[in-house]
Structure 1
Amino acid sequence: MHIGKAIRMERIFNRDTERAIIVPLDHGTTVGPIAGLIDMRETLSHIAEGGANAVLMHKGLVPCGHRRSGPDIGLIVHLSASTTLSPFPNAKTLTGTVEDAIKLGADAVSVHVNIGDETERDMLRDLGRTASRAADWGMPVLAMVYARGPKIKDEYDPAVVAHCARVGMELGADVVKVPYTGDPETFARVTEGVCVPVVIAGGPKLDSVAGLLTMVRDSLAAGGRGLSIGRNIFQAARPYQLVRALRGIVHEGWSVEQALEGLEG
């Protein structure tokens, strides 16, 4: 591996556990300034102090969250976007470059692809080209790959999710982010089909913290390498404590029960 890429990956993935807690904060472009994404420095402080490894955001948001104190945290700059106001919300378009991310001091870039959408070919092209350019700079690429389109009956179907992960890997991603399939047995089929780290998405905001912690634990047991979860963290009642509980599970081998005790404490 290119030494620059290896060093950057170590800013996102814990060197000892080779796992990552990533908190996406890119939702403002998609749905607007929702709760948890108003005071970015406060949100970043909770996430960093809780022990997350990296945050993910669009290029224009980076200055809003820059802090001059507190623990450091990895930065992933997201390079594609769409909005819920569009008649084609699943059609992602590139809005930034690898060079933009380098200028911002990023440790990685990310690209979103919705398999099955009518504009799939454009998103696949964007991912492939971005991966090629990133390789020139030793910049890791995270591919968010979901199945969303007219032919998709169930985006959580294990075969469909495995296909999504495989697409991300084969087009050059260093990390792939996909939905959790619902149980360790089926998710193992996803992780077995790729040779790069797989992290799980959070999906819709969950009502149960225990359910979130269990999902993360089970994904790790199935070969997952961590999580990339946004609103279930930054919209939590106590984001710092939740990140700390997730850190216990991901990096310290806590059980769900231990994590819940820590959260309550």
Structure 2
Amino acid sequence: MNDGKVRRLKRIFNDESGKTIIVPMDHGATMGPIAGLEDVARAVGVVKQGGANATVVHKGIVTSTPIGTDAGIGLILHLSASTCLGPDPSGKTLVCDVEEAVTLGADAVSVHVNIGARDEAGMLAALGKTSKACRRWGMPLLAMMYPRGEGVTESPGSIRIAARVGAELGADLIKCPYTGDPDSFHEVISGCSVPVVIAGGAPASDVDALVRIEGAMQAGARGLSMGRSVFQHRSPSRFVAAAGAIVHGGLSVKEAMVLLQGQVTGPRSFATLPN
């Protein structure tokens, strides 16, 4: 890995734990101004307060809000998009490139690939092209790898394939769905040569979300990349702090729930979070 990638990755991962909490907020290009993302700049500020290491946004958010000049949280620029109104929402196309991401000050870029979708071939080509450019520019690449398509399910086996494809095509970090238990997710991680973080999906109960995070960390994940579960939470900053207690601090779900519910007995940083 070249020096540029190493330096940029340090802005995304926690120095002490070597792990990361990423909060993607690229959903507006797909679904419009959904709840929690009416004001993306404010949403980023809230999760930053909770201790998020990085966020994922599209280029227009960087150029039209203060996010691009905020050095307090890692910036991952999302390069691919589709809309819920299109004929094939699973078919992602490149709407930005690595060179533009460099000019916008990105710490990393991300590409979304749906393995098994109708346009799988086009998305794989885009991932390969982006990987080549990332090597040239010293830019870390996050590959969001999902098994999605007609007849395709998010089974442990298909998730394992999706994660491996991302690593094979040159990603530095893989985001994929959690398989449901630590043992099967460990198989995903053991079959992938680069770090893996879990996706969030639709919001779940606090306990369920934290159990998924704990299970992933037990399996060897390097963190999480959760969007709606975080920015649509009743208190995003508290949720990030509770997740961070598990990811960075090794706390249990029970201990993290105490922090999330405001019965603070841990570090002072949690005690100052808003309700």
- Please tell me the residue identity of whatever aligns with 1:128: G
Partner of 2:229: 232
Is the 8 Å Cα contact of residues 113 and 124 (structure 2) preserved in structure 1? yes
Partner of 1:250: 247
Aligned residues: CA RMSD: 1.4
Provide runs of 4+ in structure 1 moved above 6 Å.
68-71
**1:64 to partner: Cα distance:** 4.1
Cα distance in 1 for partners of 2:244, 2:54 equals 12
Change in CA separation of 1:238 and 1:77 when aligned onto 2, cut-off 3 Å: same
> Does residue 121 of structure 1 match 2:121?
yes
Secondary structure of the residue that 2:248 maps to in structure 1?
helix
Cα distance in 2 for partners of 1:118, 1:238 equals 38
Query: Of 201, 206, 216, which aligns to 1:209?
Result: 206
Is the 8 Å Cα contact of residues 49 and 71 (structure 1) preserved in structure 2? no
Cα distance in 1 for partners of 2:17, 2:174 equals 18
Is the 8 Å Cα contact of residues 41 and 64 (structure 1) preserved in structure 2? no
TM-score when scaled to structure 1? 0.96
Cα distance in 2 for partners of 1:140, 1:171 equals 13
Is the 8 Å Cα contact of residues 98 and 134 (structure 1) preserved in structure 2? yes
How many residue pairs align between the two structures?
Answer: 262
**1:17 to partner: Cα distance:** 1.3
TM-score when scaled to structure 2? 0.92
**Structure 1 portions without partners, runs of 5+:** none
Partner of 2:156: 158
Deviations 1:72-100, CA, capped at 9 Å, x for gaps? 00000000000110111101000000011
**1:119 to partner: Cα distance:** 0.8
Is the 8 Å Cα contact of residues 80 and 96 (structure 1) preserved in structure 2? yes
Partner of 2:272: none
Deviations 1:188-215, CA, capped at 9 Å, x for gaps? 1000001111000001121x10110110
> % of aligned pairs identical?
51
- Please tell me the residue identity of whatever aligns with 2:226: I
Cα distance in 2 for partners of 1:127, 1:43 equals 28
**1:236 to partner: Cα distance:** 0.5
Deviations 1:99-124, CA, capped at 9 Å, x for gaps? 11111110000000011111111000
- Please tell me the residue identity of whatever aligns with 2:252: S
**1:41 to partner: Cα distance:** 2.3
Is the 8 Å Cα contact of residues 161 and 181 (structure 1) preserved in structure 2? yes
Change in CA separation of 1:71 and 1:237 when aligned onto 2, cut-off 3 Å: farther
Secondary structure of the residue that 1:75 maps to in structure 2?
strand
Partner of 2:46: 46
Is the 8 Å Cα contact of residues 68 and 104 (structure 2) preserved in structure 1? no
**Structure 2 portions without partners, runs of 5+:** 263-275
**1:15 to partner: Cα distance:** 2.0
Secondary structure of the residue that 2:239 maps to in structure 1?
helix
**1:29 to partner: Cα distance:** 0.5
**1:69 to partner: Cα distance:** 9.5
